[in-house]
Amino acid sequence: MMSDTEQKVPAKKTKYVSRQSDENGLIAWSDTENKVWEKLYQRQIELLPGRACEQYMNGLDLLALPENKIPQLKDIDEVLLRETGWKTAEVPALINFTDFFTLLANKEFPVATFIRSEEEFDYLQEPDIFHEIFGHCPLLTNPAFAHFTHTYGKLGLAANKEDRGYLARLYWFTVEFGLLNTPEGLRIYGGGILSSPGETHYALESDIAERHPLKPIDVLRTPYRIDIMQPLYYVLNHFDDLFDIAQLDIMALVEEAKKLGLFEAKFPPKEKIAS
């Protein structure tokens, strides 16, 4: 998950430590860790038919993720490299903005090589390997999504700190929490939704959440919070619209958004914990 001002870098320190692969590119996951993956996978895979977009489901088929153990990144890389020229990159539990954008600009998707504990089974702030692999990697087999993510990385790498805050909103409302119109109805493509059972139901079924057509200038002006169900989702009309967005002068839109200012937040400010 990402905050509105920091991407891949939650404000709090993490208690998780990423695993390191051996000389063969393999990680020796424990039985306990594999069991967490199995439970997460089984819970989420049952929710996806009729909810996840076709492009995601196609990618899931291509990756052929194991049900009962954490996949090895080298197996994921084999498929991604073949389909779109992408690969994964092992990273610590938290990385900074510059590292994140550098990886995306090089067609490397950062994957923190740890999995959540049983105590944080339903929600954790840091993006773990289940979120990154199950939520995002299937769509990295898709040319439109892969191109959009690559373009985003290059823009973010060149941007200053303020502009990166605006770009973070574009990532949040597409890659993490995007919805898609289809002839069969509304579908999910955002990895933050696809890896969360609660948000999978809420994003499609809530009569409280707002769902607006995706206009890039509006997205850049929309605040968000990472620790609540999203009050607002933006909806693509066609999946390949991601290609078109990537071809826009996004940084010119950022400048326009800065002049117009942010929309009023649709959520209360986060309560500060007394020290």
Binding-site residue positions for Fe cation: 131, 136, 176
Please give the sequence-ordered ranges of beta strands (E in DSSP) within 38-188, or none if there are none: 87-91, 108-112, 179-182, 185-188
Residue positions in the annotated binding site? 131, 136, 176
Please give the sequence-ordered ranges of beta strands (E in DSSP) within the chain, or none if there are none: 87-91, 108-112, 179-182, 185-188, 210-213, 232-236
CA-closest candidate to residue 21, choices 98, 60, 75: 75
Say which DSSP state 28 is in.
-
The alpha carbon dihedral of 59, 214, 107, 47 has a sign of negative
CA-closest candidate to residue 200, choices 81, 45, 33: 45
Place of tokens 């590119």: 25
With beta carbons less than 8 A apart as the criterion, state whether 9 and 97 touch: yes
Burial zone of 179 (CB within 10 Å; 0-12 exposed, 13-18 middle, 19+ buried) = buried
Place of tokens 């007394």: 274
Q: Are strands 179-182 and 185-188 parallel, antiparallel or unpaired?
A: antiparallel
With beta carbons less than 8 A apart as the criterion, state whether 151 and 239 touch: no
Q: Give the separation between CA 200 and CA 31, rounded to whole angstroms.
A: 28
